[in-house]
């Protein structure tokens, strides 16, 4: 479920209640989660859900490659935000996973509030270590403060506090440039330049439009999530090493989607490119963002074979077109 507020509520307690009010509408049978993303201009609440096309054409029982077919509540809020998410706040009914932490960091969120009841759920008791380590590390590096929110007492309990003025370092920022028009010739030129700039690194390109209809090109490569530097070889090796099923690396399609939300941009239809087959989760997020077509540079390359399986599923179901 998605709910927008034209006149944003003023306190995090009210914003959390907006998420709590819809959490029961989540279609997930075991782990219902809701979130509210807000600032002084907008408020949007979403549950975790299956995108309609995935639900209708593939179903809710099958994985997409090695990813669930769901869009997490936090990510759903970001992908559907009506305005720029830079410096916004987020209320969540449950503690968040490292993947959502990465998306929230890339979207420029500054403060996260977690409902106190979320810490008592069985799911958190099984997965709490991932929250305490990776999720919190990501927030600390990205300059995100995190609080436990107690609705009944209207009390905030600090979990992690970062000075609001802190600006996280970005040693591989997304290249955003104004353009005059979106066409195939420009996309080819951007691809040729990116191939030289990023060598064999995986990268993504998108053309996007802001609320004033100004057009921009975006070029992003795979990199550690915002706030981390890969300039030191030893630190880069640590960041590249997965911890269980999670990683500190943010894939370029996800980086691009979250950056668009951060800057209040919407993708220009038909102009999304990835130098190789995106990961399963990247492809699910593309569907969640309403993307219908992606151009792939090398169909033989992928981070893992699951991405190609996800591509086959989404292509055969007519959900995503691959050029």
- Note the pLDDT of residue 7: 57
Tens of pLDDT, residue by residue, the chain (323 residues)? 666 665 566 799 999 999 999 999 999 988 899 999 999 999 999 999 999 999 999 999 999 999 999 999 999 999 999 999 999 999 999 999 999 999 999 999 999 999 999 998 876 766 677 888 899 999 999 999 999 999 999 999 999 999 999 999 888 999 999 999 999 999 999 999 999 999 888 999 999 999 999 999 999 999 999 999 888 888 888 888 888 888 999 999 999 999 999 999 999 999 999 999 999 999 999 999 999 999 999 999 999 999 999 999 999 999 999 99
- Which element (helix H / strand E) includes 122? helix 122-130
Q: How far apart are CA 323 and CA 320, in angstroms?
A: 10
Q: How far apart are CA 221 and CA 233, in angstroms?
A: 18
Q: In this structure, what token pair is assigned to residue 32?
A: 């219902």
Q: How far apart are CA 166 and CA 227, in angstroms?
A: 11
Q: In this structure, what token pair is assigned to residue 73?
A: 């509540």
Q: Strands 34-38, 43-47: parallel, antiparallel or unpaired by DSSP?
A: antiparallel
What domains can be seen in the chain, in order of their start residue? 2-160 (3.40.140.10), 175-322 (3.40.140.10)
- Which of these, 288, 307, 289, lies nearest to 299 by C-alpha position? 307
- Note the pLDDT of residue 234: 80
DSSP 9: -
Distances (CA, A) of 277 to 65, 182, 310, 314: 12, 23, 9, 12
Q: Which residues are CB-neighbours of 119 under 8 A, at least 6 positions away? A: 95, 148
- Note the pLDDT of residue 3: 63
- Note the pLDDT of residue 287: 98
Residue 181: exposed, middle, or buried by beta-carbon count in 10 A (0-12, 13-18, 19+)?
exposed
Residue 150 main-chain phi, psi, to 5 deg: -105, 105
């Amino acid at each position: 479920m998605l709910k927008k507020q034209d006149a944003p509520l003023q306190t995090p307690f009210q914003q959390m209640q907006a998420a709590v009010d819809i959490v029961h509408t989540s279609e997930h049978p075991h782990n219902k989660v809701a979130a509210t993303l807000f600032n002084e201009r907008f408020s949007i609440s979403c549950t975790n859900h299956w995108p309609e096309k995935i639900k209708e054409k593939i179903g809710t029982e099958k994985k997409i490659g090695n990813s669930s077919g769901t869009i997490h509540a936090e990510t759903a809020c970001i992908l559907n935000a009506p305005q720029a998410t830079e410096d916004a706040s987020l209320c969540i009914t449950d503690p968040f996973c490292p993947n959502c932490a990465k998306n929230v960091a890339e979207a420029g969120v500054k403060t996260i509030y977690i409902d106190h009841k979320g810490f008592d759920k069985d799911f958190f008791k099984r997965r709490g270590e991932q929250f305490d380590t990776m999720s919190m590390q990501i927030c600390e590096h990205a300059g995100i403060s995190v609080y436990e929110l107690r609705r009944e007492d209207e009390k905030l309990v600090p979990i992690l506090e970062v000075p609001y003025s802190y600006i996280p370092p970005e040693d591989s920022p997304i290249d955003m440039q104004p353009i005059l028009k979106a066409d195939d010739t420009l996309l080819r030129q951007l691809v040729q330049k990116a191939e030289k700039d990023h060598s064999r690194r995986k990268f993504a390109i998108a053309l996007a439009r802001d609320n004033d209809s100004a057009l921009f090109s975006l070029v992003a490569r795979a990199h550690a999530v915002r706030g981390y530097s890969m300039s030191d070889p030893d630190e880069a090796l640590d960041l590249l090493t997965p911890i269980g099923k999670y990683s500190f690396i943010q894939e370029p399609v996800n980086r691009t989607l979250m950056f668009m939300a951060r800057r209040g941009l919407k993708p220009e239809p038909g102009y999304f490119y990835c130098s190789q087959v995106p990961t399963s989760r990247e492809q699910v997020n593309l569907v969640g963002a309403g993307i219908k077509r992606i151009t792939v540079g090398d169909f033989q390359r992928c981070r893992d074979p699951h991405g190609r399986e996800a591509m086959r599923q989404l292509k055969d179901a007519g959900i995503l077109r691959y050029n």
